[in-house]
Amino acid sequence: MSGDVAEWRAAPHGTKGWVGRNVLAAAVHSHEVAACKGTIRMAKDNTQWGRPSAARADAAALTPAGLAAVWAGAHTARLVLRRPQAGDGPAMFAVHGDPATNRHNPAGPDLNLATSAATLRGWLRDWEANGYGYWAITRTDAEGVIGFGGVKRLAWRDRDVLNLYYRLTPSVWGQGYAAEVARTAVGLAQAYLPHLPVIARTRSANIASQRTAERAGLRRRPDLDTAHIVFALGWTPAGEPAGPA
């Protein structure tokens, strides 16, 4: 595999694919189609490779339980991307209360554990409602949460979108972890939720964040800027289906 390509595998059902800069393809095995309540009709034989658009119409019908079966156990070669738990408050505060991880965040670091715990409770509700949301990230070869990231659904500019997010503890920066998380999240989004645009909003000085969004296949969209600068994938003019724009 080249450095641009991360493998993702969604346990326990064995969804497996390779996700590159622009999301190359997804492999869907028949047994996990059953796990997703039969809503993806891709695999008549054991394995079928297809571009995400092949599954678009049916993927829109996936239930939260079906999505959770895919999303909650995703991992890459180096990272475990798991559903956050109620006990992750201290890990949340360790990352979100650190001034270094908030250098570009005008709202500043979380002031205390209660603030981070409240954010965590919101994320847990996202998972309950949708079957996916931001992951807690650990390494396969070490204990401890190194950060949080992924996509979660929210309303933005009067549309439902997937917001791409990543915040990692500084000791692991510069090793390609954020890019790996972002590519995996965007790969799953394109495979299972292709009707939803993916956006990333960041500050103009936050080059690392911008590079990470680009590494996941998002493109700079100055026309969508607010106080943030915006990157997007699949944001098309209103009324048109999501596409590669």
What is the rounded CA–CA span in Å between residue 188 and residue 184? 6
| Of 170, 147, 25, residue with least CA distance to 84 | 147
Among 8, 71, 134, 177, binds ligand COA (CB under 6 A): 177
Question: 8 near 74, Cβ under 8 Å?
Answer: yes
Q: In the stretch 10-49, what mask flags binding to ligand COA with x, by CB under 6 A?
A: ----------------------------------------
Nearest to 96 by CA among 107, 85, 86: 107
Residue 116 touching ligand COA (CB under 6 A): no
Q: Can residue 101 be called a binding residue for ligand COA (CB under 6 A)?
A: yes
* Backbone angles phi and psi of 91, in degrees to 5: -65, -40
Residues 139/140/141/144 CA torsion (nearest 10 deg): 40
**For the chain, how many residues are written?**
245
How far is 190 from 188, CA to CA, in rounded Å?
A: 5
DSSP state of 214: H
Q: Select 55 or 210, whichever has its Cβ closest to ligand COA.
A: 210
Task: For ligand COA, give the closer residue by CB, 19 or 36.
Answer: 19
The binding track of 120-139 with respect to ligand COA, each residue x by CB under 6 A or -, is --------------------
Q: Which of 212, 218, 232, 235 binds ligand COA (CB under 6 A)?
A: 212
What is the identity of the amino acid at 232? A
- Single out the residue of 38, 174, 241, 243 in contact with ligand COA (rule: CB under 6 A): 174
Shorter beta-carbon distance to ligand COA: residue 59 or 95: 95
DSSP category for residue 88:
G
Which one of 128, 207, 236, 244 is in contact with ligand COA (CB under 6 A)? Answer: 207
- Where does this chain bind ligand COA (CB under 6 A)? 101, 104, 166-168, 173-179, 202, 206-209, 211-212, 215
